[in-house]
Amino acid sequence: EADIYQTPRYLVIGTGKKITLECSQTMGHDKMYWYQQDPGMELHLIHYSYGVNSTEKGDLSSESTVSRIRTEHFPLTLESARPSHTSQYLCASSWNTGELFFGEGSRLTVL
């Protein structure tokens, strides 16, 4: 079934660790996005990509980085996690029509 998948769904990690949140979509969308959201609160765009080898920073400053080597894959990496990074990270993808399809999210807790 065409969908967008995120792993891990939940992650508890210590300060200073490197983490990568995985996002893959099987819908053939060119555009992919990462949003940061505290549960039920605002959605803040932190990264987006128009296609392979294209990445841009969003409107909310983030210490994370992203890569887009394959159309279907858009991982997000934090080199050194801190408690301030504790949040939910939502990956999304879209066609040119604009509708966003979201993954189920990765809930990160940094101790």
Partner 1 sequence: GENVEQHPSTLSVQEGDSAVIKCTYSDSASNYFPWYKQELGKRPQLIIDIRSNVGEKKDQRIAVTLNKTAKHFSLHITETQPEDSAVYFCAASIPGGFKTIFGAGTRLFVKA
Summarize as ranges the residues that interact with partner 1 (CB under 8 A). Answer: 31, 33, 35, 39-43, 45, 48, 50, 58-59, 90, 94-100, 102-105
C-beta closer to partner 1: residue 48 or 81: 48
Please report how close the Cβ of residue 88 comes to partner 1 at its closest, in angstroms.
Answer: 10
C-beta closer to partner 1: residue 41 or 111: 41
- Give the span between the Cα atoms of 18 and 78, in whole angstroms: 6
Q: How far is CA 94 from the centre of its chain?
A: 14
The answer for residues whose C-beta is within 8 angstroms of residue 24's C-beta and 6 or more apart is 4, 5, 72, 73, 74
